[in-house]
């Protein structure tokens, strides 16, 4: 079984296999908010309190069939996550760790949304709400499932290192281990400007 992935304009297409091997959450952190504003997609990506719906999984389940040349990435700081998007239409794709040996991707909901199957049906309801202290407005959402999420991701990374599946990652070159796109790295001034943006 697989689930389609597509950017808003349709130039970038792919699929996510084994959708049951996923963990779904909503993140309210300032960095996820800044990424949405960087793309000019705050209104599309974020909910009314600044939350982003994310599906976490192993990168080996992700593949692209069309338009991979449109895949771009950025970092909010030198040490930040690689945040991937489709440069053709600025659709967010997902977040990975900068080291290819640590297999993890958090796929942003926009490239997963389908008129045929709801995210709840494909990936289950959200079981985790994290970084709720950064949510916009009051009352803040209640934090839930953080330690379970951390444990699941650590186990996924450990298994990927043990069986070598960390090498199956479409965001990184298999031979060199380098990201397939050179990330744009924001300055602290650019980051602060994004966080003052309303979109």
pLDDT tops 50 at residue 199: no
**Between 115 and 73, the higher pLDDT residue:** 73
Q: How far is Cα 190 from Cα 60, in angstroms, rounded to an integer?
A: 33
Strand 23-27 versus strand 128-130 pairing type: parallel
pLDDT > 90 fraction of the chain, expressed in percent and rounded: 82
pLDDT tops 50 at residue 121: yes
pLDDT tops 50 at residue 82: yes
Q: What is the pLDDT of residues 156-194, one digit of tens each?
A: 999 999 999 999 999 999 899 999 999 999 998 998 888
Q: How far is Cα 168 from Cα 78, in angstroms, rounded to an integer?
A: 25
- The residues facing 72 across adjacent strands are 85
Rg (CA), the chain: 16
In sign, the C-alpha dihedral spanning 188, 30, 147, 152 is negative
29-65 burial, b if ≥16 CB within 10 A, otherwise e? bebbbbbbbbbebbebbbeebbbbbbbbbbbbbbebe
CB 96 within 8 A of CB 156: no
> pLDDT confidence of 116, banded at 50, 70, 90?
low
**Between 107 and 122, the higher pLDDT residue:** 107
> pLDDT confidence of 198, banded at 50, 70, 90?
low
The whole-chain average pLDDT of the chain stands at 93
pLDDT tops 60 at residue 1: yes
Q: How far is Cα 25 from Cα 56, in angstroms, rounded to an integer?
A: 8
Two tokens, residue 34: 């800044």
CB 103 within 8 A of CB 56: no
pLDDT value, residue 115: 59
């Amino acid at each position: 079984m697989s689930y389609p992935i597509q950017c808003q304009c349709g130039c970038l297409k792919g699929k996510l296999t084994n959708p049951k091997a996923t963990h779904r959450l909503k993140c309210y952190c300032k960095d996820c908010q800044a990424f949405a504003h960087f793309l000019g997609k705050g209104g599309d990506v974020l909910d009314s309190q600044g939350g982003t719906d994310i599906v976490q999984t192993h990168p080996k389940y992700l593949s692209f069939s069309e338009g991979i040349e449109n895949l771009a990435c950025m970092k909010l700081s030198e040490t930040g996550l690689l945040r991937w998007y489709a440069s053709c239409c600025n659709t967010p794709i997902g977040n990975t760790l900068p080291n290819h040996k640590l297999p993890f991707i958090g796929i942003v909901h926009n490239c997963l949304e389908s008129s045929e199957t709801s995210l709840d049906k494909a990936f289950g309801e959200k079981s985790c709400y994290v970084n709720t202290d950064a949510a916009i407005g009051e009352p803040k959402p209640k934090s839930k499932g953080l330690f379970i999420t951390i444990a699941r991701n650590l186990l996924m990374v450990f298994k990927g290192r043990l069986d070598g599946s960390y090498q199956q990652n479409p965001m990184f070159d298999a031979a060199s281990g380098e990201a397939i796109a050179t990330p744009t790295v924001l300055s602290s001034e650019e980051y602060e400007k994004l966080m003052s943006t309303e979109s």
